[in-house]
Structures are given as C-alpha cells and as structure tokens.
Chains A and B, each alone.
Chain A
Amino acid sequence: GDSVTQMEGPVTLSEEAFLTINCTYTATGYPSLFWYVQYPGEGLQLLLKATKADDKGSNKGFEATYRKETTSFHLEKGSVQVSDSAVYFCALSEGSARQLTFGSGTQLTVLP
C-alpha cells in the first residue's frame, strides 16, 4: 500500500537558517503530494501541494518539488523564522477515494 517516510525530528535551527525536511513516498500510481503544517494547539493547514511530476509547490517562502524519479517531495525554506516553529507533515493522495496518507511528522523549532 501507499506510504510516506519523513526525516525524523525534532529539528532545531537558528533564525535565518536554511531548512530541509526530507520526504519520500511509495505509491502504486501517480499521487498528489502535500505538505501540511500544524501550529501548537491547532489543526493541520495545507502549506503547499504538487499534483504531477516536476511540479513545484510554494507558499510563505516554503518550496517542494515533486520528483518522480526519486519518489521524493522535500520541503525547503531559505531563511526560517521563529514563527515557522511547528510540526510539518508530508502526505500523499491517490485513487478514487483520495484519502490522505501521512508521514509521521517532523517537529521544527526555530530559535531567535
């Protein structure tokens, strides 16, 4: 079945550092890929998405490129802020049901 593997956390960075959170997936077809973010005490919010190979999703300075050849969708940001501290989830969706399969989440803490 489908699965998503994320880099283990927690990740701690200083403000303005470069961020990469790795995500790889296993799927039988051609899934859509997502990054969701969960701020403390809140539900998940869609951060960005890509629906086909070589698509780049971007939002709020975050980017991720759908790489079919490496089955990856790594999240990057050039300069993180304290307000980016949250848990980040990689997810995929495919098939007629379109339910999401999530990775285990990566806790990011950004220090001032």
Chain B
Amino acid sequence: DADVTQTPRNRITKTGKRIMLECSQTKGHDRMYWYRQDPGLGLRLIYYSFDVKDINKGEISDGYSVSRQAQAKFSLSLESAIPNQTALYFCATSALGVGGSYEQYFGPGTRLTVT
C-alpha cells in the first residue's frame, strides 16, 4: 500500500461549489504539506502543518483552507471553487533525513477541474 494517499484522484466540479481533497499517510511523519502544480510553474505551496495544532499559510493560500484532523490526515478545502483553481494538487509529508535535511514524500496527486 502507498505511504501517502490522496482522495479523490480526479474530480470535476462547478464554479461556486465547496470541495474537499483528502490526504492520509502511514509514514508517521509530523509534517504535512499541500501543493498545487500548474504547467510551467512547478509546484507552489498552499499550506503546511508541523503538527495537529500548527498550521501555516504557504505562498498561495488565498481561496483555500485546511484541516489537520490527526497526525495522519490533512485535508484541503476550496470553499467556493473557481476555474483558475483547476490544477493538479499534491499532498506531501516530511521527516528529517540523513544529513539534516527534510525529505518530502509525495502522494499521487488529485486532478481537479473547475468548470
């Protein structure tokens, strides 16, 4: 089984709808992240969480909210979806690796289309 899972894998929704993307991990990591990927822009950080009570905004948090329900679960919500939120969304977890760097481990992604 995958260490970082995301549901749904694909979603089409209409403008103005509320949608939640879910992420679960079995790696036991404290840190979790949400990114969006757009063609030609790489990945940009939306929100990150160092533990259940520590949630922080990333580079592009406007229009998004998150919930860290447990160490293993981190959800991303779009309260009122708009077409420019059409993108590929990735969840990631991290832990301290060899050499003192935090290595991130990514889920398979959720492709969201807002019409």
User: Of all chain A residues, which has the CB nearest B33?
Assistant: A99
CB-based contact B40/A42 at 8 Å: no
User: Of all chain A residues, which has the CB nearest B45?
Assistant: A99
- Distance to closest chain A CB from B12 (angstroms): 17
A44 to B106, CA, bound (A): 6
User: Of all chain B residues, which has the CB nearest A6?
Assistant: B42
Q: A46 and B104 in contact (CB under 8 A), knowing A97-B56, A99-B33? A: yes
Chain A, residues 93-110, CB within 8 Å of chain B (1/0): the string is: 100011110111100000
| Residues of chain B within 8 A of A55, CB atoms compared | 99
Question: B48 within 8 Å of A by Cβ?
Answer: yes
| Residues of chain B within 8 A of A103, CB atoms compared | 42
Interface residues of A in 68-112 (CB under 8 A from B): 89, 93, 97-100, 102-105
Question: A29 within 8 Å of B by Cβ?
Answer: no
CB-based contact A104/B42 at 8 Å: yes
| Residues of chain B within 8 A of A105, CB atoms compared | 40, 42
Interface size of B as a range = 20 to 34
Interface size of A as a range = 20 to 34
| Residues of chain A within 8 A of B106, CB atoms compared | 36, 43-45
A99 to B104, CA, bound (A): 9
User: Of all chain B residues, which has the CB nearest A89?
Assistant: B42
CB-based contact B56/A42 at 8 Å: no
Question: B58 within 8 Å of A by Cβ?
Answer: yes
CB-based contact B99/A46 at 8 Å: no
Given contacts A32-B100, A49-B97, A93-B101, 12 further A-B contacts (CB under 8 A): A32-B101, A36-B106, A42-B108, A43-B106, A44-B106, A51-B99, A99-B33, A100-B43, A102-B42, A103-B42, A104-B40, A105-B42
30 A-B pairs, CB-CB below 8 angstroms?
Answer: A4-B42, A32-B99, A32-B100, A32-B102, A36-B106, A41-B108, A42-B108, A42-B109, A43-B90, A43-B106, A43-B108, A43-B109, A44-B106, A49-B97, A49-B99, A51-B100, A89-B42, A89-B43, A93-B101, A93-B102, A97-B56, A98-B94, A98-B101, A99-B33, A99-B48, A100-B45, A100-B104, A104-B41, A105-B40, A105-B42
